[in-house]
Amino acid sequence: MSDTDDERPADDATVCPLCAVGCTLAPSDGEEGRARGVPGPVNRDGHLCQRGIGAFDALGSDDRLTTPLVRRDGELRAASWPEALDRAADALASVADGHDADALCFFGAPHCTNEENYLLQKLARTLGTNNVDNRARICHAAGMTALETRLGRPAMTNSLSGLSDADVLLVVGANPARQQPVAFDSYVRPALHDGTALVHVDPRENQTTRAASAHLAPRPGTDALVVTALCALAAERGGVDESFVAERTSGYGEYADSLADFDADRAAATADVPPEDLGAVADRIAAADRVAVLAGTGIEGGSDTADALLNLLLLTGNFGRSGTGMNVLRGLNNEQGATDAGCRPDRLPGHRPVDSPEDRAHVADEWGIDPPATPGLTERAAVERFGESVHGALVVGENPAVEKRDASWLRNRLTDLSALVVVDLFESETTDHADVVLPAAAGVEKAGTVTNLDRRVQSLAPAVAPPGDARPDFEILRELGTRLVGDAFEYEDSAAAFEEWTRLSPVHEGMTRSAVADGGVQWPTAGDGSSGTAVLYEEAFETESGRAAFADVETSIADAPADELTLLVGSRAGGVAAGPSDERVHLAEADAASRGIEDGETVVVRNDAAAVEATAAVGGSVREGTAYLHADVADPLVRDESATVRVRPASQ
Ligand SMILES: Nc1nc2c(c(=O)[nH]1)N[C@H]1C(S)=C(S)[C@@H](COP(=O)(O)OP(=O)(O)OC[C@H]3O[C@@H](n4cnc5c(=O)[nH]c(N)nc54)[C@H](O)[C@@H]3O)O[C@H]1N2
Ligand SMILES: Nc1nc2c(c(=O)[nH]1)N[C@H]1C(S)=C(S)[C@@H](COP(=O)(O)OP(=O)(O)OC[C@H]3O[C@@H](n4cnc5c(=O)[nH]c(N)nc54)[C@H](O)[C@@H]3O)O[C@H]1N2
Ligand code: SF4
Ligand SMILES: [Mo]
């Protein structure tokens, strides 16, 4: 952590583009390329993490794209902006003309501003397709789907600033001490210092475990079972909030019956967690006035863990007050905003369902063009149809060629497209296949707004100039929109798009750019729009009945085949300057010994999907029966989420 150089506000202060925490920074006066923290609504004392300090350096690198490129005679060659934009528009238009608009897809843009995301989805929809999505959405899809369908909104229910009100923080499948460092150091650590208990649920020890007062390390894949056991034990120990359950939930009778039949000891045995540890955590939860869940990508194996966590919080009355709630920690800087602006195949701006005639009519009134009625393809589904029913893609600030599955398969899919237009800062595996590459300005080089992980909309200011001819994505999308659609894209500036978006999005109603610039506003807006909401669902959930329903949770666990280890994946990264990756496979001593594997030895990690080589790191952080790999190394092995692997010395 670094302290600010001083406490001056800065005209060139902007929001760090490297993660969803949303710290405020400005170029350092002394050292070129380095940032200094500026006290802001999130990093109130002006702290930055090491990545944030290096933000200008990482984005200002000599490798940046500085000129548009178009493919001529098989090679990408420098071109003027008008030529490149015409080529890009023509390529996309000819796909739509030759097939129909659903032969196009639009990927992006969790690194880009709200206004840029708004333009991207508007472009897709005014051309006639809902095939618009963003990859960052996928890393928290299960958690967000559970939140949206059961409570109302796809977002963290509470705020960083309220974490100090919690008695217990239940951190599940996340490593905020490393992945959201300023949030952890500024909000979680002080809360722990003041007596909040942190319970960490993770099969592996990580930096967050070191701050925990209890660690449950269940077998991977057994979280829903463990959390349901916590529900049953908390209920047994008087933890049910009867009046909350009566007034704000539905389906409790049936759910209570299922808990009464639940065998917590058996669950502890299946998850391989000491039953007394489970009991002690349940005691804490039952006795606490306020419990908040912080969840990360480790709950994404399916919907059951998220559903079980929501059941636990509903049962114990932990919604609608500061220091409670379900707080899924988003990753990329504007992942939340990309969702809010409508870069999703099933939702229009402001989370309006595409299949709702009233919502479509509202949008059509503003646009003068009807958005299509059927949900579009998710990014994954679209990639699977490349060369079959999808023939053109506009990719803004994403690198779909690197994915959680067979990378060579993906690269081959990209070559199946007849039109690929990529807007990015750098060359990548994806730009390699592009017909047109348009160089974008980075987050620290442009204006607009972004939304952080606790729903706070903040303003960007151009703190440094973009390199060469690179332009803000907003200008690029406006130009493409004007060429492909027409007048609906003639915005004077990004403020005009902000106004249009906030008119369409119920949760942003009345939000003004001046309030956003002055400390940020957390959606949903309250009163005249200049103030926001720290805690969602204080009075009611945003469901039809205003109540939240208990959900059935599947808790049966398939045993890993004998001799196989459950693969555990962590350190998922997104964004520039993700940091060095750990290329080792971490194994427990007993698992290494039974396979004749020594620490430091080269091993092969294999399943039906792929085989990768790695160096064995024996002992330490992983539990028996699991093999831990960094996401970049694990990728080819994880075609489905519950992968098991065989690990052997490379010499055998
Ligand atoms: N420094 C840095 N920070 C970043 C990023 C970056 O690139 N660099 N990227 C950002 C992005 S895009 C994201 S999505 C976030 C990710 O943030 P996190 O989700 O916090 O990141 P991971 O380290 O992948 O942590 C996942 C944890 O889940 C655990 N886990 C895996 N499987 C299971 C399971 O079945 N059950 C349980 N209980 N736990 C499990 C893993 O052991 C690991 O400790 O970080 C963001 N922050
Ligand atoms: N192998 C592997 N795959 C993964 C992960 C992993 O760790 N390993 N992590 C997963 C996770 S958690 C996530 S969130 C996703 C992330 O997936 P992506 O979002 O596809 O990947 P990133 O590398 O974060 O960023 C994509 C591109 O955005 C560009 N970019 C940054 N800022 C801007 C901007 O302002 N404008 C434009 N036009 N471009 C910009 C960067 O140069 C980069 O090339 O990947 C998932 N897939
Ligand atoms: S915590 Fe995130 S937003 Fe804050 S400085 Fe670090 S990378 Fe930037
Ligand atoms: Mo992510």
> How remote is the CA of residue 550 from the centroid of ligand 2, in Å?
35
Residue 336 alpha carbon to ligand 4 centre in Å: 11
Ligand 1 center–CA 453 separation, angstroms: 15
From the CA of 332, how far away is ligand 4's center (Å)? 6
d(CA 183, ligand 3 centre) in Å:
8
pLDDT digits (tens, 9 = 90+) for 9-29: 567 899 999 999 999 999 998
297 CA distance to ligand 4 middle (Å): 8
> Which pLDDT belongs to residue 651?
80
Q: Which residues contact 328 (CB under 8 A, 6 or more apart)?
A: 140, 143, 144, 147, 156, 295, 296, 299, 306
Give the count of beta carbons closer than 10 Å to the beta carbon of residue 600: 10
Q: What is the pLDDT of residue 6?
A: 43
567 lines ligand 1 (CB under 6 A): no
Residue 374 burial by CB count (10 A; 0-12/13-18/19+): exposed, middle or buried?
A: exposed
Residues 463-488: tens digit of each pLDDT: 999 999 999 999 999 999 999 999 99
Among all bound ligands, the one having the nearest atom to the CA of 571 is: 1
Q: Is the CB of 221 under 6 A from ligand 1?
A: yes
| pLDDT score recorded for residue 60 | 86
Q: Name the region of 153 (left: φ>0; alpha: ψ -120 to 50; beta: rest).
A: beta
Burial of 2 (0-12, 13-18, 19+ CB in 10 A): middle
Ligand 2 in contact with 68 (CB < 6 A)? no
Give the model's pLDDT for residue 425: 97
| Predicted local confidence at residue 4, as pLDDT | 41
Instruction: Give the pLDDT of residue 3.
Output: 39
Ligand nearest to the CA of 300: 1
- Which residue's CA lies nearest to atom 1 of ligand 3? 182
What integer pLDDT is reported at residue 138 of this predicted model? 82
According to the model, what pLDDT value does residue 61 have? Answer: 85
For a substitution probing ligand 2, which of 473, 571, 576, 639 has the most ligand atoms within 8 Å of its CB? 576
Ligand whose nearest atom lies closest to the CA of 38: 3
Tell me, what's the pLDDT at 404?
A: 53
Shortest-distance Cα residue to atom 22 of ligand 2: 575
pLDDT value at position 8? 45
Query: Which of ligand 3's atoms lies nearest the C-alpha of 25?
Result: 5
Q: Answer whether 578 contacts ligand 2 (Cβ < 6 A).
A: no
Provide the pLDDT for residue 634: 83
pLDDT at 255: 97
Q: Say what the pLDDT of residue 5 is.
A: 42
342 CB within 6 A, ligand 1: no
Please list the rounded mean pLDDT of every run of 10 residues in the chain (652 residues).
45 92 93 91 96 91 95 96 98 96 95 98 98 89 96 98 98 96 98 98 94 95 95 97 98 96 94 96 98 95 93 98 98 96 97 98 97 95 94 94 65 88 94 96 97 98 96 98 97 97 96 94 90 96 98 81 82 60 87 93 88 89 86 75 80 76
